[in-house]
Structure 1
Amino acid sequence: MDGVVCGSFREAAERLGLIEADNTLDDCLTEAEQWAMPCSLRRLFATILVHCEPGDVCGLWDRHLEPMSDDYRRTRTSPNEVEQMVLLDIRGMLQSMGKDSIDFALPTIDDAFDPTEGEAREIIEESTVEFDESDTKLSSSLNLEQRAAYDEILLAVERGDGGVFFVDGPGGTWKTFLYRAMLAKVRGEGKIAIATATSGVAASIMPGGRTAHSRFKIPLSCDDGASCSFTKQSGTAKLLRMASLILWDEASMTKRQVVEAFDNSMRDIMGIRHRPFGGKTVVFGGDFRQVLPVVRRWSRGQIIDASLRSSHLWKRMRQLRLITNMRAHNDTWFADYLLRVGNGTEEADDQGNILLPDDICLPSPGEVDDLEKLIDHVFPSLDDNMSDSNYMTSRAILSTTNDNINKINIRMIEHFHRDEVIYHSFDSAEDDPYGYYALELVVRGFERNTIDAEIVIGQHAGRRVFLPRIPLCPSDNDMFPFKFKRKQFPISLSFAMTINKAQGQTIPIVGVYLPNPVFSHGQLYVALSRATAKRNIKILIQKEKPKEKSNKQNNNPKKRKRPTVSLLTSMKNIVYKEVLTG
C-alpha cells in the first residue's frame, strides 16, 4: 500500500483508510502544521479534545506544543509563559464548546498569567464584540415600520423595565438591517446586547451572533417544563443578568418548548417569576410563512402545537410587523405574489396546486437532461469559475429531499475534471452522543486526516479552519435499536441543499428542482423567496411519465414518438393558515 509492504491485514486496511489508525489524531495535527497558523492549530487541538476522543492527551500536547506556540515564542522568552499563554487560549476555546481544560489531562493553568482576572469568558466575549462603525448610522435609513420598532424596543432598553417583542416580516423586509442598527446602538453605549438565531446561517450574519442553543445552553431535546443547562453561578447566567437586549432571529423555526425552557431559566436567574424572561428586553424575529419546526412523524396539529404561536408566551409578545421594502425585485407584482403564496391566498385548484409565473419555469420534456439545463442556468460558465469562491457561494439549487440533493451534488461533481478524494467514515455502536457543528465553508486542501477549509460567509468570513473527523450520532433515538456512531468529516457538498436548509439565507441566484411536490408548510414560499431578484430564479418541475408499453412499435425508432416539450407551471402550495392567524 502506497509503495510499502504491510506487515498485517490491519495495517493495510489502515493505509487504505478503511479503519481508523491509532495515530490518526497525531497525523491530523501534523498535516495541519504544514499550513496552519498557530491560532488555527490551537483551535484544531481544542476541537480534537472535545469531539474526537483522544486517548493520549498528554502525548498530543507534548508533541504539538511547539507549532501551537510559534506566535507566542516570538514575543516571549520564558518557556513557562509561552506554555501558559497557549493553555489559556485553548481553555477559552474549550469553554466556548462547553468544556474546560480541567476536563482533560492538560498541564495546570497558573491564573497569574490570566489577564482577565477571573472575569467570565462569556462576558468578555460579548463585551468585546466588534461591529462595523457604519452600523451606528443605519438608524437614519430605517423606513417607517422599522423606525417604529427600533424606537419602541430601544425605549424599553433605556427604561430597563423589559418587554417581549416579535418582529414579524416576510423575507426581504430587511429584518437583519433593523437588528444590526439596534445592536450597534446598544453596544455603542457600552451595554451588552446578545445576538442569537435558531439557525447557524442566520446567526453568522449578525455581529457576535451565536445559535440560541449554543449561547443559552438549551438541551437538544426539550419537553414541556424544561430549563436550560446553565446554573445561576455560571458565566452564562452572569452574562444574561448583565444583558440589556437579547435578540433571537428565526424564532418561528424553533419549537415552543425551546423558547419556554429559556423563559423558565431567565425567570429563575433573575429572581422574577411573574414576568416573561425575568423582566428582560427580549426581541424575537421570524416569518411564520416559512417552514415550521421539523417534527418527525407528527401530524399537522402536533406540528402547529410545537410552534411558537402555540406558546403561552405568544400573547405576551408585542407584535411589530414589517411589510414595506419587501425584496420587490423591482417587480411589485412578484412581491405581492410571494405574499399571497406565503399567506395561502393565491388561487389554487381542487388539488391545492397554484400557478407559477411562466418566466421562472424551465420547459421540461421529462428527460434526464432537464436537470442539466437547470444546472447550466444556475452555474453558467462553471469551468471558468470553479476556483472562485464568490461565484460558488452566490448560487445554489434547492429541492425538497436529501435524495434529490444528493443526485444534484453528484451530477455537479462530475463537472469537475480533476482528481477526486474519497474519505471513508468509521462506524461503530456507542453510548455517547456528540453534537454536530456546521460551518459554511469552501475546502482549500485535502489530506488523509484533516481538511483545510475557509469560512466564506458571515462574521468569520476569511477565517482558515482545519477539520478532523468527528464522531456524530443520530439525534433521533428511534432510528436504531442501539447507539450508532459514525466518525466522519463534518462537511457535505452544497451546490444543492434542501429548501429547509436554505431558510434564513439570501442566495443571489437560485434554481429550484421539484421532481416531486413540496410536502410541508412554507416550503414553496421559502424556495421562491431566497433569491434577490425574480430574474435570478429558475424552477424545474418534473412529473413522472407513465411507463411505455413494451411492443414492436415502441421498439421501432422510426415510429417512436418524440418527447413533447411542456412548460409545467403548477405546483402544490401547502400553507397551515391556522399558524398564521393563531
Structure 2
Amino acid sequence: MRYISTSEACWRIFQFDLHYRDPAVERLPFHLENEQQVIFPDSTDLDKIVTREGSKSTKFTQWMEANKIYELGKELTYAEFPTKFVWKRETKCWQKRKRDYAIGRIYYAHPASGERHYLRMLLNTKKGCTSFEDIRTIDGVPHPTYKSACQALGFLDDDTEWIDCINEASSWASGAQLRQLFTTILSHCEVTNPKILWDSTWEALCEDMQYKRRIILNIPTLQLTNTQKQAYGLIEIEKLMRQVGKSLKEYTEIELPNAAELDELGNRLINEEVNYDMEKLKDEHKTILNNLNQDQKKAFDKIMESVNKGLGKQIFVEGYSGTGKTYLWKALTTKLRSEGKIVLAVASCGIAALLLQGGRTAHSRFRIPLNITEESTCEIKQGSHLAELLKKTSLILWDGAPMANKHCFEALDKSLRDILRFTNENSDEKPFGGMTIILGGDFRQILPVITKGRREQIVNATIKRSYLWKHFEIFELTQNMRLKCLSDDPIQKQKVAEFAEWILQIGDGKTASDEGEDWIKIPKDLLLQKGENRKELIVESIYPNLLQKYRERDYLEERAILCPRNDTVKEINDHIMSQIQGDEVTYLSLDTVCKATTNTNIMMNMQPTEFLNTLTSPGIPDHELKLKVGLPVMLLE
C-alpha cells in the first residue's frame, strides 16, 4: 500500500524533480547479428520503416564503427563507452565527450534467452570490437557462436547441479514429472550444455516410454530400442516446451527425431516386426548355427552375404520334406532379427506359415489379389504403413513357393520395383526392386491349383515358367535331417530311411509300375490286410489296446488317422465312440439367425432349420457334437 499526501501531489502538479541522477545512466541496447529492435506505431507503413534513413544504424552498430575511427575506443568495453563518448541522436553517431560523464548499462538478458545472454557476457569484457565476428574471436580464433566463445573464456560452469537435480528426483518422481522438471530447467535456468544434460539424464526421462507405447499400441511384449525411447521422450518434452512458448529447435545441440522417424515409430507393422528379444535370439542362433549341415551352411552364407552387402539376390532353396528347410529359415530369422533387422517370413498356405516365427500367408502380408492375373499388382499404396515396412525390410522369405501361382511373385515384383524406387537406386530395373528374396519348397509336392486345368497348364503356372526364374540361384538340400532324431535302434533307422527313399522316388517318378506312369507299387508292410470290418481293422492297427490306453496323452499324440473326406472322419469317430464305455452327451449348435442381420424373416424362410442342421461344410463344425467323459477334444482356431 502506498499513501500519497497533499504535499507530494502539489510537488507533482508543479512538475518539480522527484529524484536526481548523478552521474547520468545511459541504457545501452544490443542485438544479434542481422537483427535489431525497431519501434514504430501501428499506423506506420512497413515499407517506409524498412527504407527510412538511419534505421540500420543503432548505438550498438555505431559503437563498432566508432572503434574503427577512435583509438580511445579500443580500450573501452561497450558498457564503458559512454564514459568517454556521447551518442548524438541527430546524426546517429558516437562523438568524444567534451564535458561531464555518464555510466553505461547494458539491457539485461535472461540466461534462457540463448545467444543474446552470451553476447551480453562478452560485451562486458571485450574491448574495441569492430564487428560481430570480432566479438566472437578469442585469442585469434573465431568461434561459431557466442556461447562457445564464453566457454573458451571460461565464463560458463558445468551442469552438474542440474544433472544431480534430475537424478535425485528420479528416485521418487514419475517420468512425466521428470520431463516437466527437465523442461523447467532448460527454459528458465542457466544450462551451459543442453546436450550433456540430455545425454546424462535421458534414461530416467524416458524410462516409462516403452510402457506407454505398449498401452497405446496394445502390444504387451513391445520392445523399444534406446533410439526409439529417446525419440518418444523428446516428443513429450517438445510438447511441454511449446506450452511455455519455447521449442527444442532452439537448442541445436539436441538432435531431434526427423519426420520419417516419427512416422516409423507410429507404424504398428514395423513395431511388430522388431518386437523380438534380441539377446534371446542371439543365444538361440548360436545353437542353430552349430547344427547346420554342409548344404544348409552353404545356403546360409550366400543369403547372409546378399543381405549384408545389399546385393539383392534371388535364391531358391530346394529340398524334399525332412531336409531342414524350416531349420534353415530359423537360422536366418534368428540371425537377422537379433541384429535388429526386419525379416518378412511368409508361406503359401496357413499351415506352413505356422512353422515360421512371425509367419503369415503371402496373400495376407503382401495383399496379393485372390483372383490373380498377369496384370495384377499388390494392393500396397506408396506411403502406407506396409510400404514403409517393405522399405525397412532386409529379407523376404517365402516358404512353399511351388504352391503359389507365378503371377503372385510377378505381382510382388512389380510392387517392390515401385515402392523401393526411393530407397534402392534403379529399383525399376532390378528383380523385386533389388531386395533379397528367398524362396523355398519342393516341386515334387503340390503345384498351383488351376481350376479344371490340364497338366501343362498347372506346370505353366509355377514359378519356373515365370520371367523371374532366370534370376534365381538354386541351392539343393539333400540330407534327410529327420533320420538324426531317431533312436539308436539300427533296424528302426533302416526302415525309416527306406521309407524316406521310397517317398523321394515317388516324387521323382521312379516308382512307376508296368501299368503306366500314374500307377505305383506300395510295399506290403505299409498295407493293411483285407477284413470284413474295415473301420475296426484301421482302428485296431493304429490304436492297439485303445480301451486300456485312450486316457494316456502320449499314446494319443503319437498316432493319427488321416482321412480324405469329412464323412469318413465322422464314420471312424462314431465307431471309436461306440467302443468306449460311458454315457454319451450330445451338444447342439445355435441354429437361429442373428437378429442383427437385416431382413431376418426373409432369411429364416429361405431354408428350413432342419435342412441347415444337416449340412457339413469344411471349416464349420457339425450341428451335433457327441462327447463322452475321457475322450480327447481338439480345438482348432
TM-score of the aligned structures, taking structure 2 as reference length: 0.47
CA–CA separation in structure 1 for the residues paired with 2:268 and 2:430: 28
Where structure 2 has 5 or more consecutive residues not aligned to the other structure, the ranges are 1-210, 223-238, 240-261, 422-426, 487-492, 599-614, 623-637
CA–CA separation in structure 2 for the residues paired with 1:234 and 1:146: 36
Partner of residue 523, structure 1: none
More moved, 240-249 vs 349-358: 349-358
Q: Which runs of structure 2 are paired with 1:265-344 in the superposition (5 Å)?
A: 265-271=415-421, 272-325=427-480, 327-328=482-483, 330-331=493-494, 332-344=497-509
Partner of residue 89, structure 1: 218
For this pair of structures, how many residues does the alignment match?
336
Q: Which runs of structure 2 are paired with 1:88-107 in the superposition (5 Å)?
A: 88-89=217-218
Shift in CA distance, 333/263, structure 1 to aligned 2, threshold 3 Å: same
Q: Could you tell me which amino acid in structure 2 is paired with residue 334 of structure 1?
A: F
Partner of residue 588, structure 2: 422
In 2, are the aligned partners of 1:427 and 1:487 still within 8 Å (CA)? no
CA–CA separation in structure 1 for the residues paired with 2:290 and 2:565: 43
Where structure 1 has 5 or more consecutive residues not aligned to the other structure, the ranges are 1-81, 94-111, 433-485, 494-582
Q: Comparing both structures, which one devotes a greater share of its residues to helix?
A: 2
Partner of residue 469, structure 1: none
Choose the corresponding residue for 1:397, options 561, 568, 593. 561
Residue 178 (structure 1) aligned with residue 328 (structure 2): yes
Shift in CA distance, 161/326, structure 1 to aligned 2, threshold 3 Å: same
In 1, are the aligned partners of 2:306 and 2:436 still within 8 Å (CA)? yes
Partner of residue 121, structure 1: 268
Choose the corresponding residue for 1:219, options 364, 369, 392. 369
TM-score of the aligned structures, taking structure 1 as reference length: 0.51
RMSD over aligned CA atoms reads: 3.8
Aligned-partner SS, 2:439: strand
Partner of residue 162, structure 1: 312
User: Aligned-pair distance for 1:197?
Assistant: 1.1
User: Aligned-pair distance for 1:294?
Assistant: 2.4
CA–CA separation in structure 1 for the residues paired with 2:386 and 2:555: 39
* Structure 1 segments (4+ residues) deviating >6 Å: 82-87, 90-93, 387-390, 486-489
CA–CA separation in structure 2 for the residues paired with 1:489 and 1:245: 35
Partner of residue 377, structure 1: 541
Q: Could you tell me which amino acid in structure 2 is paired with residue 167 of structure 1?
A: V
Shift in CA distance, 383/251, structure 1 to aligned 2, threshold 3 Å: farther
In 2, are the aligned partners of 1:289 and 1:343 still within 8 Å (CA)? yes
Partner of residue 230, structure 1: 380
In 1, are the aligned partners of 2:405 and 2:461 still within 8 Å (CA)? yes
Q: Could you tell me which amino acid in structure 2 is paired with residue 152 of structure 1?
A: K
Partner of residue 354, structure 1: 520
Structure with more relative contact order (C-alpha pairs < 8 Å, separation 6 or more):
1
CA–CA separation in structure 2 for the residues paired with 1:287 and 1:120: 35
User: Aligned-pair distance for 1:146?
Assistant: 0.8
In 2, are the aligned partners of 1:250 and 1:284 still within 8 Å (CA)? yes
Aligned-partner SS, 2:314: strand
Q: Could you tell me which amino acid in structure 2 is paired with residue 121 of structure 1?
A: R
Shift in CA distance, 187/372, structure 1 to aligned 2, threshold 3 Å: same
Aligned-partner SS, 1:259: helix
Shift in CA distance, 116/277, structure 1 to aligned 2, threshold 3 Å: closer
User: Aligned-pair distance for 1:279?
Assistant: 0.6
Q: Could you tell me which amino acid in structure 2 is paired with residue 259 of structure 1?
A: F
Q: Could you tell me which amino acid in structure 2 is paired with residue 295 of structure 1?
A: I
Shift in CA distance, 238/229, structure 1 to aligned 2, threshold 3 Å: same
Q: Could you tell me which amino acid in structure 2 is paired with residue 376 of structure 1?
A: E
Partner of residue 32, structure 2: none
Shift in CA distance, 187/384, structure 1 to aligned 2, threshold 3 Å: farther
Aligned-partner SS, 1:277: helix
Shift in CA distance, 192/83, structure 1 to aligned 2, threshold 3 Å: closer
User: Aligned-pair distance for 1:295?
Assistant: 2.7
Shift in CA distance, 390/212, structure 1 to aligned 2, threshold 3 Å: farther
In 2, are the aligned partners of 1:161 and 1:279 still within 8 Å (CA)? yes
Q: Which has the larger radius of gyration?
A: 2
